[in-house]
Structure formats: C-alpha cells, structure tokens
C-alpha cells in the first residue's frame, strides 16, 4: 500500500513528462511538417504556373506574329499577282484571289498613289473612311520595299478596330491594302492555347495602350481603364512588354494572388498580357492531400475558434466602444447610439453610455437655453441703459452746456469766463463720452447699416480714443445676417478690441470679416 501511494505521484509525473517531452514536441513537429510541406508545395506550384504561363504567352505571341507575317505575305503576293496580270481589271484580280484575301475581314482594296480608291472587295464604308483619312494612316509608298502595317484605328461604321497591311506596286504605281480586325485575329489564333471558357484574362494592347482584344476571366480593379478601351499605364507587365521584354509578375488581387504573363509582338510593337489566379490551376485533390495532417489537431482549431470568438465578440466591440466613447467626449452624441455588437455585457455598457450621453445632451441644451436667455436679458438691459443715457443724461448735459454758454455771454470777469470755458469743454467731453458709451451699449450702426459698417465704425472709434491703430478689412459678398448673429459677432469683436487695448499694449491691430458662399437650405 505504501509502495502504491508512492508510485501514483510518480506515474502522474511521468504522464506529464511524457506529454511535455514526447507528445507535445511531436505534435508541434507534425504541425511544422504539415505547414512546411504545404508552403513548399504552394511555392513550387506558384513557380510552375508562372513558368507555364510565361511559355504559353510567348507561344501565343509567336503565333500572332506568324499570322501577321502570313497576312503581309498575302498582300505581297496580291501585289505581285497584279503586276503579272496584264490587262485584267482590278475587280477581276480581286475575284480571282479569294485564297489570298480570305484572312482580311475588313476587305482588300486597290488605291492609286494619290490615295484614290480604284477597287475593293467589300466594306465600302470602311474604305470610304480610309480614303477620307488617308493622311492620318501610314500606308506603303514608293519608298517602301516591304509591306507596311498601319496603327490600329477605329472604324466608325462597325465600331471595331482595324489594321491595314499595304504594299506598293512600282510597276503599276498603286497601293494594295488589306484591312483586318486585331480582335478577329486574336480570337482565331489564341483560341488554340486559351479555351473560351477558361479562367485566363487576355489582353492584346497596342503601343498607345489601346486594348485591341480582351477575353476571359474577371476584370479586376488593377485593370481599371483610363478611358474607353485604354488600359491603365501601371498595369503589371504592360511597360515591360511594350519595351520588348517577356516574363511574369505576381500581383495580389483581393484575397488571391494572380500570375501576370507578358510578351511583346515585335513586328507591331504590341503587347500580349495574360492573367489568372494561380491557385485555381492547382489540382484540388493535391491540395486536399496537403491538408490531411491538420485533421489531427482539432484542439488547435478549437483554440483558434475560441480566440476568434473572443476577439470578434469582446475585443473588437470594446475597441469600437472605446472610439465611440472618445467621440462622445468631444461632443458627438450620435455616434454612441450606433450598436457595436458583441456579448450582452458590452451591449449593456453601451446602453448605459447612451443614456448618460442623452442626459448630458439634455443638460447642455438646457444650459444653452439658459445662457441664451441671460444674453437676451443682458442685451435688453444694455438697450434700456442706452435709451436712458440718450434721453435723460445726455440731454441734461447738453442743457447744462447751453446754460454755461448763456451765462458766459453775461459775465465780464475774465477769470469767471475762463472757468465757464473749462466747464463747457468738460460738458462737451462728457457728451462725447456718453455718446460713445451709448453706441457701445446699443450699436445703432448695427441696426441701421449692418454688421460691416458697425465693425468699421468700431475699429475707427477704437483707434481715435486709444493709442492703437486698427485696420479694418472685409472680403466676400457682403450680406445681412440674422439679428442675433450680427449682434453676437459685434460683441465678440468689441470684447476682443477691448482686451487688446487693456492687456496687449499693442500699437497696431487688424479687424477683418470674410463672407463665404451662402448655403441654401
């Protein structure tokens, strides 16, 4: 019994030791191998898909260039056939050359060296447009010994892009021209390498970044066009392909990584670009085999789920609530009412904060009304005092001044007249001071002439009665504001200038008002 008791703690300790020393390291090693093999597999598949797409886009670009050479050879053969045809008309030559002109979906035409149309197969509207705009198109001339490819142009009739291959016949002094659609050429040539229902996005772009052909896949934000049919200049691989380089680039698009392969078409200076999500190319069954080791770690997954739940339902709601509480501290009472979600305790805390915000807002509104009432009462008292000063005190001082003037006329003594003069001067100063005080209590300019005139007079009177030069400036379209707004702005300016006079000891000040655009409600 004693040995059993002593053995139990040993067994328990051994179990813990086995778990810590054996099971836990093996589990971690298995996780490391599983994730490591999965990462290596993904990296190798990523590289493999990139190399495959690079070879595919180069092969497709070579095929397009071969088709272009074939069409150039057809035009050269047609020019040679016209030279050797003797008396055959151009219409007869075109009728006998169906094999040569079958690749030109825009038709074939003969033009003289001045650009006049001599004969054409079909597409009359297209060739009429070509003749009218021949100065803007590059066609073969007497100086060209090889066929010439024009830049792509938009046919107004069909709204499709076309390219003209032309050759000059020196013996006949004519131009043989064939028009074909790059879109039709790409559709026919690229369908062999890229199935129509595939996940690959394909772009055929000319040197001016105009999209000649686009097919397959889903257009992403990185492919946003700057204008109709023009691809963005910073599209991956575009600059490199237009420089004549081939290669691949990997770009992040949303939640997946895409491989962009590009290759130039040297003959025309075009670029061929393909894009696809490389993960979609990987065999799904092969992906599943990489995930098999992870099924033995359900505890790890449960821990992640618990952690996710804690972050999603507790941490993130508390963070959102913290930001809303900070906004509430700055006076934003509406933000706190938007639900932050989370567990019930977090929601209850938000409800308490919302109620507190409601009470604080109500208290602020009551305080604002109280301050407004006090301000209104203060202004009414100022108006009353201004009226009493104007109607009683100023009138009494004016009457006193007139009595002094009458008395001075009847007094002959010089000393007495001098005293009366001083008394009259003092009365005039008192009248001026009382009038300034009246205007300060009740700005009559504000009521009659508006805020701008009142502020201008305030600046002028402040400069006249104090050793302070005040500049007044106004800008914008002057207009009248509500009475309480004008009065509040006037009082603010008045108090500011008083503070400058009393405390700043300044010699120069500036008072300005700027009117913005009027908002129609």
Mind listing the pLDDT tens digit for each residue in 107-163? 899 998 888 888 888 778 888 888 888 888 888 888 888 999 999 998 888 888 999
Give all strands (DSSP E) within 170-281, no chain letters. Answer: 174-180, 201-205, 211-215, 247-253, 256-265, 270-277
Q: Where is the domain boundary, 224, 257, 284? A: 284
Cα 225 to the chain's mean position, in Å?
15
Task: Domain of residue 88: give its range.
Answer: 55-284
In a shared domain, residues 121 and 194:
yes
What is the residue whose two structure tokens read 């050429």?
185
Establish if 497 belongs to a structural domain.
yes
Q: Is the model's pTM score more than 0.85?
A: no
- Residue 192 is predicted with a pLDDT of 76
**What DSSP designation does 230 have?**
B
User: Could you tell me if residue 428 is inside a domain?
Assistant: yes
Q: Band the pLDDT of 176: cuts 50, 70, 90.
A: very high
Return the minimum-mean-pLDDT range out of 292-306, 379-393, 395-409, 462-476: 292-306
Domain boundary among 284, 307, 325: 284
Are 150 and 64 contained in the same domain? yes
Same-domain status, 414 and 456: no
Region label for 258, one of left (φ > 0), alpha (ψ between -120 and 50) or beta (otherwise): beta
Same domain for 105 and 229?
yes
Q: Do 302 and 193 share a structural domain? A: no
164 and 228 share one domain: yes
Last residue of a domain, one of 284, 315, 334: 284
- Domain containing 460 — which CATH number? 3.30.565.10
Instruction: Judge residue 5's burial from the number of C-beta atoms within 10 Å of its C-beta, 0-12 exposed, 13-18 middle, 19 or more buried.
Output: exposed
Residues 85 and 184 in one domain: yes
User: pLDDT digit string (tens) for 429-460?
Assistant: 787 777 777 666 666 666 667 788 878 888 88
107: CATH: 3.30.450.20
CB 46, CB 239: distance < 8 Å: no
Residue 67: CB partners within 8 Å, gap ≥ 6?
103, 185, 188, 189
For the chain, what is the domain count?
3
In a domain, 23, yes or no: no
What is the side-by-side order of every strand in the sheet holding 256-265? 211-215, 201-205, 270-277, 256-265, 247-253
Buried-state track 238-260, b at ≥16 Cβ within 10 A, e below 16? bebbbeeebebeeeebeeeebbb
Q: What is the 3-state secondary structure (H, E, C) of 69-132?
A: HHHHHHHHHHHHHHHCCCCCCHHHHHHCCHHHHCCCCCCEEEEECCCCEEEECCCHHHHHHHHH
470 and 402, same domain (yes or no): no
Winning range, highest mean pLDDT, from 296-305, 376-385, 398-407:
398-407
């Amino acid at each position: 019994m004693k040995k059993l008791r002593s053995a139990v703690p040993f067994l328990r300790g051994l179990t813990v030791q086995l778990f810590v020393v054996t099971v836990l390291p093996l589990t971690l090693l298995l996780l490391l191998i599983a994730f490591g093999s999965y990462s290596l597999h993904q990296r190798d598949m990523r590289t493999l898909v990139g190399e495959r797409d690079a070879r595919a886009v180069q092969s497709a670009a070579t095929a397009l260039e071969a088709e272009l050479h074939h069409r150039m050879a057809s035009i050269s053969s047609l020019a040679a056939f016209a030279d050797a045809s003797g008396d055959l008309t151009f219409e007869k030559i075109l009728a006998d050359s169906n094999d040569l002109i079958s690749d030109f979906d825009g038709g074939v035409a003969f033009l003289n060296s001045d650009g006049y149309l001599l004969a054409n197969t079909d597409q009359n509207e297209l060739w009429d447009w070509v003749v009218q705009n021949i100065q803007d198109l590059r066609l073969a001339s007497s100086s060209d010994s090889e066929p010439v490819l024009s830049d792509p142009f938009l046919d107004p009739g069909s709204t499709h892009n076309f390219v003209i291959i032309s050759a000059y016949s020196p013996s006949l002094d004519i131009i043989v021209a064939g028009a074909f659609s790059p879109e039709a050429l790409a559709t026919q040539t690229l369908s062999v390498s890229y199935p129509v229902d595939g996940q690959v996005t394909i772009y055929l772009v000319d040197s001016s970044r105009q999209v000649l052909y686009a097919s397959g896949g889903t257009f992403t934000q990185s492919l946003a066009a700057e204008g109709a049919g023009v691809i963005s200049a910073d599209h991956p691989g575009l600059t490199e392909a237009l420089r004549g380089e081939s290669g691949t680039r990997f770009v992040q698009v949303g939640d997946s990584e895409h491989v962009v392969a590009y290759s130039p078409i040297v003959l025309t200076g075009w670029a061929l670009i393909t894009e696809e999500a490389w993960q979609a190319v990987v065999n799904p069954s092969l992906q599943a085999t990489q995930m098999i080791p992870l099924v033995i770690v359900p505890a790890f997954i449960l821990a992640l789920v618990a952690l996710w739940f804690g972050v999603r339902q507790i941490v993130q709601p508390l963070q959102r609530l913290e930001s809303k509480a900070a906004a509430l501290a700055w006076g934003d009472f509406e933000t706190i009412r938007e639900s932050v979600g989370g567990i019930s305790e977090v929601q209850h805390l938000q409800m308490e904060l919302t109620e507190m915000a409601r009470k604080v807002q109500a208290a602020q509104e009551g305080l604002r009304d109280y301050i407004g009432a006090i301000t209104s009462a203060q202004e009414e008292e100022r108006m009353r005092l201004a009226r009493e000063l104007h109607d009683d005190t100023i009138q009494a001082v004016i009457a006193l001044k007139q009595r002094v003037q009458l008395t001075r006329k009847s007094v002959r003594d010089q000393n007495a007249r001098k005293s009366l003069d001083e008394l009259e001067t003092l009365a005039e100063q008192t009248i001026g001071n009382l009038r300034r005080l009246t205007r300060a209590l009740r700005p009559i300019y504000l009521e009659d002439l508006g805020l701008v005139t009142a502020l201008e007079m305030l600046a002028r009177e402040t400069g006249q009665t104090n050793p302070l030069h005040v500049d007044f400036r106004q800008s914008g379209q002057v207009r009248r504001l509500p009475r309480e707004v004008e009065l509040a702005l006037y009082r603010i300016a008045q108090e500011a200038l008083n503070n400058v006079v009393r405390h700043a000891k300044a010699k120069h000040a500036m008072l300005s008002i700027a009117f913005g655009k009027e908002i129609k409600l």
